Structure 1
Amino acid sequence: MAATHARALVSDLDFRPAEPAADMALLDRLALLALRRWSPIAAVTPSDGIWIDLTGCAHLHGGEEIFCRRLLAFCRRAGFTARVAVADTAGAAHALARFGRDPLSRAEPGATANAIAPLPIVSLRLAPGAISACRRFGLETVADLLPVARGPLARRLGLPAITRLDQALGAIAEPITPREDDEVPRVERRLLEPIGTAEAIEQVMSDLLRDLANLLRERGVGARSLRLTGLRVDGINQIIGIGTARPTRDVPHLLRLLKLRIERIDPGLGVEQFWLAAPHTEPLDAVDLGAVLAGDALMRDPARLVDVIAGRIGPRAVFRARPLESHVPERAVTRSDPMVLPGRWPAWTRPVRLFARPEPLNRVIALMPDQPPRRFEWRGRVHRIVAGDGPERVHGEWWRRDAEMWAVRDYYRVEDEEGGRYWVFRRGDGFAEDTGDLSWWLHGVFA
């Protein structure tokens, strides 16, 4: 309504000039914050809102509902009134956030049509002419549009209105152009003709890496992760990523890692545009190679080997064993970063292969209370012991649970007739019943 009409209705109405440019700048800063903290894809909507793509990252924030509640709390602390909606499509989320009943709306997967059915026609982001036509024909909600055939509906409302409806229902893709972080090193290649062969893609990777290496060198940083995005002619993005154990700008090494991912790129009818970004970078100073060039030292960097192995079998499969402060053997070691040197290991001997869980031994013959076993059966085979050493007594950690208050293990190193060396233990000290049931277990195998 006109400002004079509004002031006549509310005499103390607060009027302030609109600043669309400042509003868009604020939304852009919020989208950049979402990009850095919550999701790799965030964009400003055509109206007063932000799209955040939670695909593949919702579990990092405790699930969709928990993330939305945290997002509402963040907006309240920042002084904003916000409404959040989660749906399978961007159009449905846009409609629910602005016309839903609750500040937090969530459409179940596959139930988008039922979620937006009671919403008004204007929630579909239709043109003013299409909204007026809907009113003339008595169409008030989205549910009124769903049973109508697309042909007659397109003649009355126009084809753009049908496109908006199909986008909200998921029948037509609605790609989101994400907000790009200017601080992230990023290079681009636009091709004259689409490419689809592995050799051509490899050449583009090499060109992009050289450009990115120059950019990283200017900033004095090295890449810890790279993300390559290829835009196909049908508008679908193909994304692959790699990570490194240490920051690097070595083009041949990074190209070797990217080549391991080429088979994951589906070129379709061809890829016409590529982007290469380094989302995670770390400072990388000059390396002193004086001793290496003089021949006094040999340059050995295990980071390259770690990167190649992790690229083939996964980063979680490459780790280094690190000691922990614990007397119980299965708790005295953990996995750590393969590039981080472990602390000092205990002085006592431990087997090369330590089982995650001790395995029971059957038909054990041993002289109580302190002698190693002379015979035992393990995995269906009988082992006759010719030499043994021990015991090494390990007490339970009483501060963890009451069951370990008096628990005792007596460990022995034994060798059988065939030369196999094993690490076995007996539960209990052989005197008090509270210390253990005197059962025998095998906990590890020596080399």
Structure 2
Amino acid sequence: MRICAIELPELRVEVLRATASDVPDHVPLGIVVAPAPLTESKLLGNMRLDVVSHEARSLGVRPGQTIAQARARVPDLLVRVVRPEAVKGELARIAEVALAFGATVAFDVASPGALASAFERASASNAFGMSDVVWVDVTGCAHLHGPDQQSGETMLATRLEGVIADLGHVCSIAIADGPRIAAILARSLPMDDVRCPVVVIPPGKNAGAMSGLGIDALPLPDEDVRWLVKIGVRTVAELSLLPRSALATRLGPRAPVILSLIEGDDRAPLAPYVPPEIPEEEVTLEYGIEGTEALVFVAKTLTDRLASRLAGRAVATSRIDLVLGLDAAMLREAEGDSGERDSGDREQVVSLELPAPLSSASDLLAALRPKLERLVLRAPVLTAKLRAPALVRKPQSALSLFEATPKAARALPRLVAELAADLGPQAVGKLALGDSWLPEERSRFVRMGDPTVKSSQPAQRKRRHLLSSIPEPTRVLPEPLPVPRDSVKIVRRLTRLESVEWWRHVPGERVPSVDFVYAWVLESPAWVEIDRSSGATRVRGWFD
């Protein structure tokens, strides 16, 4: 089983910097991970730091120190609180994006102060204090990225690293046989300021890759690590030379796991993460926004995140809903209401039906922007949630080396979505062939993405027989143009219509009988109708 492990050592710092606007980029930062109602104003000096930023580590601050100890070293240390649900939500987003690279994903949230996680990983010996991992099962996926397994997995890991970097995260990636060994190798990679490290271990070579690591990379408590160092064992290779019986006695119940990892045997299963049925993204704003420009900026962030989730599922959406949470106090003041309101009354929903399914962030934002620019907010916006309730399969097409991809095919869905947002979905559509010989009913307007039109069609499309071998006009006039009979120079008689749809006429009313001819009128080829009863001639269209 080939497993790709994505190690995210700076995840909590990145989550804080992405959500807090008052945190500068390059200041020493300490983080306390705690649920509500703990806030920054309630932090005490004896509370311990769970995570520290790279800038704080370079100044001597370490996880596990109290806030007072850390500020004794760095007086300008900035301490903030991060919610556990925010970290879990970000890991879920990364796991959903990673679905584009493998069929099964899982993630592990590191717990502050825990010695071991769900996969027996010790956090006390980790240099970063804690770490978070996302796993992707990439078994059988190497041939999609390269000619052989080694180069294909290397390219897969490189592309995955680029996707994670686009999400704003620093990571290290390792591919090996088994999730625990892949996570250990990813955590042991040296971080680089230029690019994220990537390593691919060939199948069956786990033991050789583990032998070069230090014993602190294994999921061992601190007392076991200190004991091994005292007896001169500092690497996994040296640990593998010790007698198994004595080592098992010292390690206790963890011995089977440690010994299997030393030998490169990792058969731990993944606990698959199943994403929610309806993908959604939500942001909470520190201050209420009232202008449309600020709202469009928030919508851009939401569309970027939602598009990454859609890409992981290989789907597109035919509808998006933007739910805006309004300031209840300002809403009561604006509407002169002092009573309590339901949660639905404090929300303003912007729904957009997309005639053609969209999936990219730029297309979703372009379709949503006209709605937001015309939106009148009832009160300042405090929260914004973007949902994609209607998902459809995204069509995939292979690229050709000899034929260029038509640009119109890519630009048309976005253009149609923008027109639908501006004019309304009822005013955007296409012309379809009508099942009639009457010229005014030969073409009809069909709204794009109309579900009623699709449901009315049979499973086997009916073959139409209303197209003949005679020339058809390229332009049909909205109203017939009467012309003198002597100005019409008939070139070819096309067809004769007699008693067409006679049941629509009142009994006793004359059913028109006409001839259609190809003729020259005003020095242009025209589609001319001749009434056989009265002899009147009318131009109904033109041939280009």
Give the TM-score taking structure 1 as reference length.
Answer: 0.45
Give the TM-score taking structure 2 as reference length.
Answer: 0.38
Point out which structure has higher relative CO (alpha carbons under 8 A, 6+ apart): 2
